[in-house]
Amino acid sequence: MKKVWFLLGTAVFALSACTSTSSKTSTSEVVQTSGGITLSDDQEITLSTNNELATADSTLMQDIQTTTAGNQYFEGLFRLDENNIAQPAGASNYQVSDDGLTYTFNLREDAIWSNGDPVTANDYVYAWQKMVDPASAAPYAYMFSSIVNAEEIINRNLEVEELGIEAVSDTQFTVSLTVPISYFPEMLTNPYFFPQNQSFVEEQGDAYGTTSENTVYNGPFELANWQGGNQEWDYIPNDDYWDAENVYLDKIHMQVVKETATAVNLFESGQLDNALLTGEYAKQFQTDERYVIEDVANTTSLEFNFDNEFLANKNIRTAISAVIDRDVVTENLLGNGSRSATGFVPDNFVKDPTTEKDYTEDQPDYQVYDLELAQSSLATAKEELNMDSFDFTILVDDTETNRQIAEYVQGAIMENLDGVNIEIQAVPKNNRIAQAKEGDFDIMLSGWNAIIPDPVNMLDKGDSTTTFNYGNYANEDFDNLLALAEGENANNLEERFTNLHDAETIFMEEVGVAPIFHSSEAFLWNPQLEGIVRNSVGSRYSFKNAYVAAE
């Protein structure tokens, strides 16, 4: 067996130094981080987010805002560092069998829940069994499919107790895989693999995770002042956290802000420590020392409902995709470093291990702006469907940016595709996801974020068996290629990546979705706020070691 040991150090990952414009002052009593950085006497910050929290139950988390929140007040075996590499958190060390199929995890003995209970191996067993239990309806249950018996349990053919996880003692458990997974530690940094305190969860029943009071925490912070769906909440230090001495912030106040102008005004007046920028604001602040561009492993697309008899027609989907000038979106509407997308797997995301090239480098432009193609495809669709006009509604989040993108798409379609009428339905993100689950949409503007650094996680969007394939796209060849990449060819990297490229070709040539852009995000950040770990995959931030530096 290979044994992996960790040095449980307290290094702080600091941002690049910037000249401060903040009014916060340093304290006369010098307080420093473990790295020797002098702290401001004010360690309370206010951050903006553009969507409400959907849940505090890690079993039910499914969007980037909620998983990023969970990364503050929960903790699993690992955390991602600034290079998206898994580093120790709840694990002290682990062993991997020579065939890569068995992992043995040893837990920290000083990790406890905020109610005083120790974090045990059974907390992981309980949480993982809960994830694959069909009764939980966990959105990310499919992420467990490489664990022994998980698929059979999800498909109701085995009981949850048959899952390939076993507590050996209070501080050790084993996991059995069906195939080796090179990124398994990185996968485990996601909240779906975090432990849950069984006695507390069962005591709360259906109320668990619905408010901050009905949740118990084992991360560096606790969630506070959240009643479910409200526009503001807090993260406060968890005094029982095993590494509490290296948690420096006294409070993180979160505030939902959906309009860029509002966020900028609040930032400039000192009421926010960050502000998300789009469009003209992103361009306006490009030379500002507080301006930061953050890469995100995300593709935003138009998702089609294949249960709609007209959108099931490939030529209709082709016409809609080809009428979108993606450069207009990235350059005029966003202006934040996002790139026009002609395929689904984003660039700057992962390298092909056999060539060391970017995964996307040698790929063709699958879907492009082409008015001639758009109009000829529409003409063919009208003949095939014996229809002269079509009415569709685009479902979007009610943020300023999403509305603007939808309005551009609406205009491009109605100006260039005769007989196609588009309405826009803008709703809060939680409502959009609820409608998507019910298949209650024609076309949906949605983003798909990678939670592990591997192309298969992006392509899962088109897998007919995943819960996030809201449009019910289905192609047997596509599914088989993903199965090969995750099964028979899991250890043959060249064949595996060929499978993934071939799968993406099918997905894009069939216009399973219409990709619009690969995301970057532009922010203004208080330059005194340092020590944040930013990630392009999975949860976006860790504030565990963040702090406000003295001026």
CATH value at residue 172: 3.90.76.10
Residue 259 lies in a domain: no
pLDDT tens sequence for the chain (551 residues)? 444 443 333 333 233 333 333 333 334 456 777 677 899 999 999 999 988 999 999 999 998 999 999 999 999 999 999 999 999 999 999 999 999 999 999 999 999 999 999 999 999 999 999 999 999 999 999 999 999 999 999 999 999 999 999 999 999 999 999 999 989 999 999 999 999 999 999 999 999 999 999 999 999 999 999 999 899 999 999 999 999 999 999 999 999 999 999 999 999 999 999 999 988 999 999 999 999 999 999 999 999 999 999 999 999 999 999 999 999 999 999 999 999 999 999 998 998 888 889 999 999 999 999 999 999 999 999 999 999 999 999 999 999 999 999 999 999 999 999 999 999 999 999 999 999 999 999 999 999 999 998 999 999 999 999 989 999 999 999 999 999 999 889 889 899 999 999 999 999 999 999 999 999 999 999 999 999 999 999 999 999 999 999 98
Q: Determine if residue 98 is left, alpha or beta; phi over 0 gives left, psi from -120 to 50 gives alpha, anything else beta.
A: alpha
Examine the domain organization and report whether 303 and 157 are in the same domain.
no
Examine the domain organization and report whether 530 and 511 are in the same domain.
no
Query: Containing domain of residue 124, as a range?
Result: 44-254+526-548
Examine the domain organization and report whether 439 and 500 are in the same domain.
yes
Residue 407 lies in a domain: yes
Examine the domain organization and report whether 343 and 472 are in the same domain.
yes
CATH of residue 504's domain is 3.10.105.10
Q: What pLDDT was estimated at residue 182?
A: 85
- What total number of domains does the chain contain? 2
Residue 185 lies in a domain: yes
Examine the domain organization and report whether 505 and 543 are in the same domain.
no
Residue 272 lies in a domain: no
Q: From CA 298, how far away is CA 336, in angstroms rounded?
A: 14
> Which residues are 3's β-sheet partners?
95
Q: Coil, strand, or helix at residue 367?
A: coil
Examine the domain organization and report whether 397 and 487 are in the same domain.
yes
Residue 275 lies in a domain: no
Which among 440, 473, 417, 431 is positioned nearest to 301, based on CA atoms? 473
Examine the domain organization and report whether 198 and 332 are in the same domain.
no
Q: From CA 160, how far away is CA 505, in angstroms rounded?
A: 36
Residue 307 has a CB neighbour count (10 Å cut-off) of 12
Q: From CA 88, how far away is CA 189, in angstroms rounded?
A: 10
Residues 6+ apart with CB under 8 A from 492: none
Residue 91 lies in a domain: yes
Examine the domain organization and report whether 360 and 436 are in the same domain.
yes
Residue 229 lies in a domain: yes
Q: Coil, strand, or helix at residue 511?
A: coil
Examine the domain organization and report whether 377 and 236 are in the same domain.
no
Tokens of 77: 């075996």
Examine the domain organization and report whether 129 and 200 are in the same domain.
yes
Residues 6+ apart with CB under 8 A from 498: none
Examine the domain organization and report whether 249 and 324 are in the same domain.
no
Q: From CA 36, how far away is CA 33, in angstroms rounded?
A: 5
Residue 514 lies in a domain: yes
Give Dmax (Cα) for the chain.
79
Computed over its alpha carbons, how large is the radius of gyration of the chain? 24
State pTM to two decimals: 0.85
Examine the domain organization and report whether 517 and 537 are in the same domain.
no
Which among 300, 301, 313 is positioned nearest to 420, based on CA atoms? 313
In 273-332, where do the E strands start and end? 274-277, 291-304
